[in-house]
Amino acid sequence: MVKKLTMPRIIREIRLRLKKRNVRHTFHALKEEMQEGLTAQEVEDALLRGFELVEDYPDDPRGHSCLVLAWAKGKPLHIICAPHEEVLIIVTVYVPSREEWEMDYRTRRKKT
């Protein structure tokens, strides 16, 4: 049976895995981190310093995941991650674009 995580619980699940340093980065995430001039460690450190839930994807066919906002090297980072069993999987990482996101980096711009 698959456990459904509520929004507050997914945050706790992410923090628990971060605290245990039980994190895995997908190949795609590692490529994106490199393009953004970041290491996997810098992304994990940014999450450990604090993050905000931006979007929750409880019905993701690959398993519950979410988009969070964190900061590294003075830049906003969007990180899609998924607590899976005992591991936090970093799916992708990117600097949000001003064309797609409002100035708070938490709100998608309306498409016109």
Distance CA 76, CA 69 (A): 7
pLDDT at position 7 over 60? no
- Give the model's pLDDT for residue 71: 98
- Give the model's pLDDT for residue 112: 66
- Give the model's pLDDT for residue 35: 96
User: Which residues have CB under 8 Å from 96's CB, separation 6+?
Assistant: 69, 76, 78, 105
pLDDT at position 5 over 90? no
Distance CA 55, CA 58 (A): 10
Largest CA distance in the chain: 44
- Give the model's pLDDT for residue 73: 95
Say whether domain 22-94 belongs to CATH 3.30.2310.
yes
Average pLDDT taken over every residue of the chain: 92
Distance CA 34, CA 112 (A): 32
**All structural domains of the chain with their residue ranges:** 22-94
- Give the model's pLDDT for residue 4: 58
C-beta separation of 88 from 63 below 8 A: no
pTM for this one? 0.89
pLDDT digits (tens, 9 = 90+) for 15-64: 999 999 999 999 999 999 999 999 999 999 999 999 999 999 999 888 89
C-beta separation of 77 from 97 below 8 A: no
- Stretch 88-112: mean pLDDT, rounded? 93
pLDDT at position 79 over 90? yes
Q: What is the DSSP string of 76-103?
A: EEEEEEEEETTEEEEEEEEPPPTTTB-T
